[in-house]
Chains A and B, each alone.
Chain A
Amino acid sequence: MPKVNTFKVKVQTGLQGMSEPVHFNFNNHNMPFENVTGSTGAGETFEGSFDVNSFAHSLTLSGPKSGKWGIDKITVEYDCENEKPYSVKFGGVNLDESTEVNIWQDPPVLAFDV
């Protein structure tokens, strides 16, 4: 369970856009993103980040409170304490008022050539 200094998301919306502010859940605390650029309209790209400075056991991206949000791709850049910065790409997903999607991945395990 690493300590997350900051994380940054880049969400590419597909055909189904939405207009609500984007929220995430960090360890079940629901919060809006900071340093937001772009939008979540159809075909648009949203970027946002958050200075967490806390240990992560769960991190999810929340669906809109009404309507649906069709996401094509999510890219998350994590900056964790005592770890090299790493990024993870997730595939497409449809979110609504009853769903959220996991965007947490532990730092990659060291692999080496033999």
Chain B
Amino acid sequence: MNFIKRIFTGMKQEPEEPVVEESSVTEEIESSPVAEEAAQTEAEPSFPDVRRVLQIPVISEGVFPEGSDEVLIKAQPSPTGDQCLFTVNRSLMTGHSWYFADFESAEGSSLAERLFSQEDVETVLVCECTVTITRKDKTLFDWAPLAKDVGTAIREAIQDGEGLIAEKIIADLPTEEEVREGIQKVIDIEVNPGVAGHGGNISLLDVRGNSVTIQMGGGCQGCSAADLTLKQGIHTSFRTAVPKVGAIFDETDHTAGLNPFFS
């Protein structure tokens, strides 16, 4: 019974009343140090050591052949099918990123204007040498037809040589400090109190230009709803509070730890 009680309360084993003559107690303690040690081990069960899992970068092979004058574009639909990443063999916006929420926001940016002229394009995110497109029709998973049109639009915009991103946007880009302050504030005031109810937390890891990198922790790490929380909750909060924030990267390793259930 005492054993069961210890399991639930984490109590150490209490020595039972010795049923021996007083004269033999001293002798027993002196003669059996090993037994005493064994009893102590039983009372304090040892747990396996949990090692720290290190993440190291993957060495990626070159996506495109080097030194090509041709505009080369690769399309990579997301596993969830709601977005498609287009990687181009040249920079589209150096050092910063920009999120175009709708056609009106694309005014003056030839790249985004051409992309929004495609019927199914909902939003456009330009970051360094990549363009991420979300589509309006969430029931379609085959990106091939739209991706071809998007590829053509990107290629034409580059070859036209007009300003891919509006000068007004470039001139008004926020400093890293402004982005950091704004995002940290919205994390502290709005996001973290919201996810705390599920035992989760969000931390701001890095700010580069106007792009931010976050990490989900606590109950959010490994959660099967993390993608939904990120895209519909965190992205919306960040873009409402800091409209000039560009790309939002999530560096959470959802498979780490002893009990992930993300996959």
Contacts and interface: CB of A to CB of B under 8 A. Distances in A.
Interface in B31-81: 49, 51-59, 72-79
A88 interface: yes
Given A28-B258, A88-B58, A114 B53 contact: no
Nearest to B51: A100
A100 B56 contact: no
B57 A90 contact: yes
A90 B54 CA distance: 12
A109 B76 contact: yes
Which residue of B51, B73, B86, B258 has the most chain A CB atoms within 10 A of its CB atom?
B51
Nearest to A100: B51
A111 B53 contact: no
A4 to B, nearest CB: 13
A100 B52 CA distance: 6
Interface in B222-257: 253, 255-256
Contacts, number: 80
B159 interface: no
Interface residues of B, number: 32
Interface string A87-114: 0111111010011111011000111111
Contacts of A101: 53-56
A112 B58 contact: no
Interface stretch (B111-119, B143-151, B195-203): B143-151
Contacts of B256: 58, 102
- Residue of B55, B58, B74 with most partner-chain A CB within 10 A: B58
B260 A57 contact: yes
Contact of A109 (B54, B55, B78): B78
Contact of A60 (B53, B76, B148, B258): B53
B24 interface: no
